[in-house]
Amino acid sequence: MIRLQPEDLLLVLGARPPSDVGAWLRDGLRDAVASGRLEAGAALPSSRSAAAGLGVARGTVAAAVDELVGEGVLESRPRSSVVVADLARHPVGASSRGGPADAPPRPASVGAPDPALFPRAAWARAVRDAVRALPDAELGYPDPQGLLGLREALAAHLRTARAAPVEAEDVVIVSGVAQGLALLGEVLAGGSSGRRVVVEDPASPGVIEQLRDAGLDVVPVPVDGRGLRTDALPDAAAAVVTPAHQFPLGVVLAPDRRRELVAWARDGDRLVLEDDYDAELRYDRQPVGALRGLDPEHVALLGSVSKLLSPALRLGWVVAPPGVREALVDAKRRADLGCSVPEQAAFARMIESGAYARHLRRARLTYRRRRGLLLDALAREVPHLPVEGVAAGLHLVVRLPDGDAEARAVAALRGAGVPADPLSGASARAGAWGVILGAARVQGAAVPRVVEILGAVVTRGEVSFASPRE
């Protein structure tokens, strides 16, 4: 085992600032672990010797270490040693807990997070504390708009994290983005603006199914390297978009196009449904602010805990413009009367206690590291296969030259336990071939396996893209 010296820490941390020594230690150590400059398993010096070596108070070191242990960046071991956590220790397809033999595993979605990162203990604590504190009056039938305490906590979180104007009264709690889209689809279908809805091409087949189920006519508009082609927007009642991180291509909607999309909505009194897909999983910089910030009257912002905590929780939100809010709450009431109060209260408590922010930091670090290792391996071994999108989210798109390669890649990846969908299934256009690859759990031995599969599907000489990358 590597035993780090205080000098090693000083090297990765850099010069000690005159103030906020705690943040310097904490953020510096976190970055060093995430970037791999401190290796997994390496043991930290004792807090006494670290404090002496770095010239800081022992309590400051202990506090920073405690916080990083809480985040999962460091790990406590027996005999009080603290080691750098292995953020990539759960192999793909292997469960950290054995499931009952009779529960057939459902194939994981390409957008699903690694369930091994779900903060089980923190969630159980949040439920316990929330259920203990709930007033009796909240244990009757729920408010169909959502528990006020959660709407307040979420509004505060979204104002900061998504730079969008959000108040508790704007928020409607739903059972995930799927329900949010189904209910907004119902509201649109019952309105007087017609039944045409713009979707991105490519887009999630599930989203398109949800809209069609609501009785809407779906009009695909192409996406290029700068996002939705706003010059191609037809007349329609609404548009469903993923501006922060386009699904599946991973591009960010360009600033001029953001403005054009919002102008299209405002000029025709249309509604933009902003599916804030992956916005809080950007790894290289702050995500762009939510589109809602440009026009809160014409943009509904949808989000959920599915990528950030777990899709098993079924909790999401719609930040709804005043014009559709009442109809949306009514649709929610008619659908199921409202969401579970103990679960809403528990999520509010996780936000307020900081446990949610700690979990997000830890998840971002882990996924960033895994993504980096996979991208490095792909660039090294199959450089002829283009990988799309910015550094964000839980999936990658690898372009492939034809439908045959696509079908073989999807089958082989799924066979290896890696979630994979055909890009052609997400597009109405011919010639968009590739694989949408769920990368959340790809690590360790799974990295060379993925590279090997993709390398075998397309040998270097064969590559010729019918539809070049735009």
Which chain residues interact with a second copy by CB under 8 A? 95-100, 102-103, 105-106, 108-109, 112, 115-116, 118, 120-121, 123-124, 127-128, 131-143, 148-149, 174-176, 178-179, 182, 209-210, 213, 306, 310-315, 334-343
| Rounded least distance, CB 143 to a second copy, Å | 6
* Closest to a second copy by CB, 178 or 458: 178
| Rounded least distance, CB 213 to a second copy, Å | 5
| Rounded least distance, CB 179 to a second copy, Å | 4
| Rounded least distance, CB 469 to a second copy, Å | 30
* Closest to a second copy by CB, 20 or 213: 213
| Rounded least distance, CB 39 to a second copy, Å | 26
- Buried b vs exposed e over 331-366: b needs ≥16 C-beta within 10 Å? bbeeeeebbbbbbbbbbbbbbbeebbebbbbbbbbb
| Per-residue CA distances from 403 to 206, 397, 454, 458 (Å) | 21, 15, 14, 12
**Nearest C-alpha neighbor of 340 from the set 167, 178, 135, 140:** 140
* Closest to a second copy by CB, 79 or 132: 132
* Closest to a second copy by CB, 60 or 175: 175
* Closest to a second copy by CB, 15 or 137: 137
* Closest to a second copy by CB, 6 or 180: 180
CB 238 within 8 A of CB 244: no
**Nearest C-alpha neighbor of 207 from the set 232, 241, 236:** 241
CA–CA separation, 466 vs 445, rounded Å?
33
| Rounded least distance, CB 304 to a second copy, Å | 10
Q: Is 319 helix (H, G, I), strand (E, B) or coil?
A: strand
* Closest to a second copy by CB, 106 or 285: 106
- DSSP letter string, 86-140: -TT-S-TT--SSPPPTTSPPPPPPTT---GGGS-HHHHHHHHHHHHHH--GGGGS
* Closest to a second copy by CB, 126 or 203: 126
As a 3-state breakdown, the chain gives helix, strand, coil percent values, each rounded to 5, of: 45, 15, 40
- DSSP letter string, 186-248: HHHHTSSS-SEEEEEES--HHHHHHHHHTTPEEEEEEEETTEE-GGG--S-SEEEE--SS-TT
CB 332 within 8 A of CB 186: no
| Rounded least distance, CB 438 to a second copy, Å | 10
| Rounded least distance, CB 199 to a second copy, Å | 17
| Rounded least distance, CB 172 to a second copy, Å | 14
Consecutive H or E run containing 439? none
- DSSP letter string, 351-377: HHHSHHHHHHHHHHHHHHHHHHHHHHH
* Closest to a second copy by CB, 70 or 115: 115
